[in-house]
Amino acid sequence: MYQEQHGDSAAAPLAGFTVGVTAARRADELGALLRRRGATVFHAPALRIVPLADDGRLLAATRELIDDAPEVVVATTAIGFRGWVEAADGWGFGEQLLSCLSGVELLARGPKVKGAIRAVGLTETWSPTSESMAEVLDRLLAEGVADRRVALQLHGEPLPGFAEALRAAGAEVVAVPVYRWMPPEDLAPLDRLLDAAAGRSLNALTFTSAPAAASLCSRAEDRGMLPELLDALAHDVLPACVGPVTALALQAHGLDTVQPDRFRLGPLVQLLCVELPARARTLPVGGHRVEIRGHAVLVDGTVRPVPPAGMSLLNALARRPGWVVSRADLLRALPGAGRDEHAVETAMARLRAALGVPHLVQTVVKRGYRLAVDPAADTAYADT
Looking at residue 66, which CATH number applies to its domain? Answer: 3.40.50.10090
pLDDT of residue 342: 84
How many residues in the chain?
A: 384
pLDDT of residue 15: 92
Among residues 157, 138, 131, which one has the least CA distance to residue 267? Answer: 131
Question: Among 111-115, 192-196, 262-266, 277-281, where is mean pLDDT lowest?
Answer: 262-266
C-alpha distances out from residue 203 to 41, 272, 296, 297, Å: 10, 10, 12, 14
Q: What is the pLDDT of residues 234-276, one digit of tens each?
A: 999 999 998 887 888 899 999 999 999 887 889 999 999 999 9
Which residue range(s) make up the domain with 81? 50-182
Mark whether 78 and 195 lie in a shared domain.
no
Q: Which of 134, 158, 182 is the last residue of a domain?
A: 182
Q: What is the pLDDT of residues 324-359, one digit of tens each?
A: 999 889 998 887 666 677 888 999 999 999 999 888
For residue 376, name the pLDDT band (cuts at 50, 70, 90): low
Is 333 inside a domain boundary? yes
pTM given for the model: 0.72
Q: Rounded distance, CA 373 to CA 267, Å?
A: 36
pLDDT of residue 8: 43
Looking at residue 288, which CATH number applies to its domain? Answer: 1.10.10.10
Q: What is the mean pLDDT of residues 22-35?
A: 91
End-to-end CA distance of the chain: 36
Is 312 inside a domain boundary? yes
Is 11 inside a domain boundary? no
pLDDT of residue 374: 79
Q: Which of 279, 302, 331 is the last residue of a domain?
A: 279
CA 37 to chain centre: 16
Is 150 inside a domain boundary? yes
Mark whether 263 and 332 lie in a shared domain.
no
Mark whether 376 and 339 lie in a shared domain.
yes
Question: Among 57-66, 239-248, 374-383, where is mean pLDDT lowest?
Answer: 374-383
Mark whether 54 and 166 lie in a shared domain.
yes
